[in-house]
Amino acid sequence: MLLESSLGKLVGSVRGGRVVESRLGKLVERIRATEPVPLRIRLWTGRSYELGPDPAVTLTVPTPSALRYFGSPDLMTLGEAYVEGHIDLEGRVAEAFRACERFTQAAGRGSAFAPSKRVTHTRGRDKKAIEFHYDVSNDFYRLFLDRNMVYSCAYYRAEGDSLDAAQEQKLDHILTKLQLRPGERLLDIGCGWGALIFRAAEKFGARAVGITLSNNQYEHVREQIRARGLGDRCEVRLQDYRDVPEHGGYDKISSVGMFEHVGLDHLVAYFRQIQCLLKDGGLALNHGITSVDPESRAVGMGAGDFIARYVFPHGELPHVGLALREMAAAGLEVVDVESLRRHYAQTCAEWAYRLEAHADRARAIAGEKRFRIWSLYLAGCAYGFAHNWMSIYQVLACKQGGPGMNPLPLTRAFMYPGG
């Protein structure tokens, strides 16, 4: 009976594969005639389908069952097939993503936005999501991040800036916007591997507290505080932002690449907590990825689904308009808004290139599946930011506290010292 069942499944798989192969052949003919794509699909039989002239990449389908991913292709199904090892790739991941995006569009699966899936964000659930993303391996992140391990959008003053320079420029840009002064107390919500609090202490003379939910980041920052001799000026806590107790205890607050994890339904509570932690007239800078859809819907074509499943569980991106509204509702006066979308496209492209250049080491550290997930994710983000699928903003705000409480100069010249 077991043998008969197995044979039955095999026959069904082969028949199903033939049906999907027939559909694929018709789809390829249509795409070649109307919207050529530089992509080759090679089957286990040796047969190849070229969707356009001069294919830049080849997707290899090793078994009949893997053809199911091409029956109704989008970026989720094709991404799943790749990271789960059901198809293989020849060529650069960035080129593959471009080709698959065009394939998805040509196949009629190109809806720009997908409905947001609202998530209840609890302390436990948020901690697990952060650990899933960040507690891979510090050595893995070192392969593609800059020397200071800054895992957020860099700030390029010129096209030729190195990643190291651009990330330090971003740190200084944030702290300059915050008008951080010697002796002031800074809270960095979601401090990553600590680069911003170290910069705040060492260059700006501040006393800085960083909080994170990642055990790996916490241990790294704690060791760096000791190694740098910053024990009297820097502190790191394994702490949820909702549990920070010092109401009115901070002159300045930064949050970089963190509010994507907060959840659309929790934004006003998040900004109210920031408002409560600030002194009257204190400044806050929120740096985060946003949806380009006014309704705060997720990226479509299956890209948002892929990220939610494999990269950022429970992440939700608000439109910048929603973020500004919730900041105002929380008692924060928005004083400056800056888009860094093009900067993030360049940052992610650099990360993707560096990770692919260290592919063997990345596989040894994190495994083949994790390498595939991250190489595809970074290449996709570079493409997505470049094509305005999502954006990123720095929003500077002041805690409302009555006349004369806003400490900022009347013009924005202070943000760009030296021109």
- Structure confidence by residue, pLDDT tens digits, 79-88: 999 999 999 9
- If you average pLDDT over residues 135-154, what whole number do you get? 94
Closest to 142 (Cα-Cα) out of 340, 344, 361:
361
Domain membership flag for residue 239: yes
Domain membership flag for residue 369: yes
CATH number for position 359: 3.40.50.150
Whether 98 and 217 map to the same domain: the answer is no
d(CA 253, CA 395): 12
What's the confidence (pLDDT) of residue 123?
Answer: 83
What's the confidence (pLDDT) of residue 3?
Answer: 38
CATH number for position 18: 3.30.1050
What's the confidence (pLDDT) of residue 119?
Answer: 73
- Structure confidence by residue, pLDDT tens digits, 203-229: 999 999 999 999 999 999 999 999 999
Whether 233 and 316 map to the same domain: the answer is yes
Q: Residue 353's pLDDT band (boundaries 50, 70, 90)?
A: very high
- If you average pLDDT over residues 31-59, what whole number do you get? 93
d(CA 97, CA 358): 19
- If you average pLDDT over residues 330-350, what whole number do you get? 97
Domain boundary among 52, 80, 110: 110
Phi/psi-derived region of residue 181, left when phi > 0, alpha when psi is between -120 and 50, beta in every other case: beta
Give 7-40 as a 3 state SS string. Answer: HHHHHHHHHHHHHHHHHHHHHHHHHHHHCCCCEE
Q: Residue 131's pLDDT band (boundaries 50, 70, 90)?
A: low
Domain membership flag for residue 176: yes
Whether 17 and 106 map to the same domain: the answer is yes
Whether 244 and 285 map to the same domain: the answer is yes
Query: Does pLDDT of 4 surpass 80?
Result: no
Query: Does pLDDT of 258 surpass 80?
Result: yes
* 3-class DSSP state of 162: coil
What's the confidence (pLDDT) of residue 402?
Answer: 75
Whether 104 and 149 map to the same domain: the answer is no
What's the confidence (pLDDT) of residue 121?
Answer: 77
- If you average pLDDT over residues 312-317, what whole number do you get? 86
Token reading at 56: 């830049």
Domain membership flag for residue 115: no
Note the helical H segments in 278-358.
303-310, 320-329, 341-357
Domain membership flag for residue 27: yes
Token reading at 168: 């330090």
Query: Does pLDDT of 360 surpass 90?
Result: yes
Quick one: CA dihedral 198, 199, 200, 205, positive or negative? positive
What's the confidence (pLDDT) of residue 6?
Answer: 42
Query: Does pLDDT of 7 surpass 80?
Result: no
Catalytic residues: 381
Query: Does pLDDT of 255 surpass 80?
Result: yes
- Across 14-18, 156-160, 185-189, which has the greatest mean pLDDT? 185-189
List phi, psi (to 5°) of 333: -85, 115
Domain membership flag for residue 116: no
Whether 68 and 188 map to the same domain: the answer is no
Using an 8 Å Cβ cutoff, are 174 and 256 in contact?
yes
Whether 211 and 316 map to the same domain: the answer is yes
List phi, psi (to 5°) of 387: -105, 15
Whether 173 and 281 map to the same domain: the answer is yes
Query: Does pLDDT of 12 surpass 60?
Result: no
Domain membership flag for residue 80: yes
- If you average pLDDT over residues 364-369, what whole number do you get? 94
Quick one: CA dihedral 404, 410, 415, 417, positive or negative? negative
Domain membership flag for residue 117: no
Whether 264 and 340 map to the same domain: the answer is yes
Whether 134 and 53 map to the same domain: the answer is no
User: What is the domain extent for residue 250?
Assistant: 123-415
Query: Does pLDDT of 95 surpass 50?
Result: yes
Query: Does pLDDT of 362 surpass 50?
Result: yes
Query: Does pLDDT of 130 surpass 70?
Result: no
Domain boundary among 110, 137, 164: 110
Whether 180 and 52 map to the same domain: the answer is no
Domain boundary among 75, 110, 145: 110
Q: Residue 134's pLDDT band (boundaries 50, 70, 90)?
A: low
Of 359 and 111, the structure prediction assigns the larger pLDDT to 359
Query: Does pLDDT of 39 surpass 70?
Result: yes
Full DSSP string of 50-106: ESSSS-SEEEEE-SGGGGGGGSS--HHHHHHHHHTTSSEEES-HHHHHHHHHHHHHH
Whether 306 and 362 map to the same domain: the answer is yes
Of the listed ranges 33-37, 45-49, 344-348, 402-406, the one predicted with least confidence: 402-406
Q: Residue 132's pLDDT band (boundaries 50, 70, 90)?
A: low
Domain count of the fold of the chain: 2
Helix (H) or strand (E) holding 207: strand 207-212
